[in-house]
Every structure is written in C-alpha cells, then in structure tokens.
Chain A
C-alpha cells in the first residue's frame, strides 16, 4: 500500500506557466481534496471531490482546476501560475468526509 502519492515534491515555475500536480491513492477512497499551506494561514481547502466525476470548490479555488475521472487520481492544475500561488500543496484522501484523512507528503511550489 503506497497510500497517497503526490508528485512532484518540489517545483519551480515561472509566472504564467501552467502545470499539474499529481495525486494518486490506492486505498479506494471516495473523498479526495487539495489544500495549500501558507505560513500563518493553516491548511486552506482548494478543491475537493466526493467521488469520481464529482468535484466542488473549497475556500480558495481561484487559479486552480481539478478533475476526477477515476477513483484513484485527483490532479490539480495551475492554469497560469502567479507568485501568490507559491505554497506547499497537500493532497488528502479518506473513505468519506467523516473518516480519517490520509495526506500525501506535499509539493513545495515556488512561482518566480
């Protein structure tokens, strides 16, 4: 069992570039989510999904897109990177919103 796998672990982007952060889980969890962590701001929810084909916005969705074509994968797309998107990104999964969430190791993204 790999749990929740996030790639890459580190990334530097130039302003305006696009990229996809990958997240995969092998626990057959229905609920998946993306958070960003900034100093003093805690973990803020970007987007989440309650199952394949269903996604919804969190607290800070602007500038990010997601899709959930399979149960296992929940990629996060930055359409046009901005310095304000410099952050540590965490993907999480759980059976439902009611159960323990498992987190990936995080992606440290710097936009210059």
Chain B
C-alpha cells in the first residue's frame, strides 16, 4: 500500500527562522513520484515540486529546498529565512502504480505559521 506520513501537525516559527517539514513515505513501487503542495489560507492548492524515485539530487529554489533520501524514504522540505507569506498548510504526496491502480495520495499536511 502507498502511504505518506507527515508527523508534524502544526509548526509555529518566528519570521527569519529556518524550518523543515518532514515527509516519510511507503511504497512497494520501484518507480514513483513525490510532490509537495502548498495550501495558503485562501484555500487553493499550489504545486511546489515534483521528484521521481530515480533522482535523489537535492533541489533548491530560492528560499525553498528539498532533501530526498530513498534510504530513509523521506522527502523533507526546508524553508530558509521564513516569511509571514509562507504561512500555509503544506502537503506531501506520493504517486505510484500498484496492482493495476495508479493513485496520487497525500499526507495529512503540516500547518506552518510564521509569526512576525
């Protein structure tokens, strides 16, 4: 079965702090895809990044960085020098193919609050 665990339900930081959001996944697939999405208070879901299982290179995009480690089945997301606008719920997601089914499943999300 596919499963995504985001153990941190809520995180609160002060502006300019660095913060890491954890994501641990389970799958029997050898080929799978991992995603992060952001849901700001306005409610829409915004795509942040996609990573396939064969690409373990870490990625940096501005203040955002992602650390993919197959050995620990983790795909963690770090925001450097957090800002109030980063306040949102962040979802990690996994897409795999098992037993003829192709599902994109999400974790329960981590609510990040950045205080001024």
Contacts and interface: CB of A to CB of B under 8 A. Distances in A.
A56 interface: yes
A33 interface: yes
A102 B44 CA distance: 10
Main secondary structure of the interface of A (DSSP, over half): strand
B55 to A, nearest CB: 12
Main secondary structure of the interface of B (DSSP, over half): strand
Contact of B104 (A40, A41, A42, A45): A45
A58 B6 CA distance: 20
A100 B47 contact: yes
Given A42-B107, A42-B108, A56-B101, A97 B47 contact: no
Given A97-B33, A100-B50, A106 B43 contact: yes
Nearest to B46: A103
A102 B33 CA distance: 16
Contacts of A97: 33, 95, 97, 102-104
B105 A45 contact: yes
A43 interface: yes
A74 interface: no
B43 A105 contact: yes
A108 B91 CA distance: 19
B35 A90 contact: no
Contact of A33 (B35, B97, B104, B107): B104
A66 interface: no
Interface of A: 31, 33, 35, 40-45, 48, 50, 56, 58-59, 88, 90, 92, 94, 97-103, 105-106
Interface of B: 6, 9, 33, 35, 37, 43-45, 47, 50, 52, 91, 93, 95, 97, 101-109
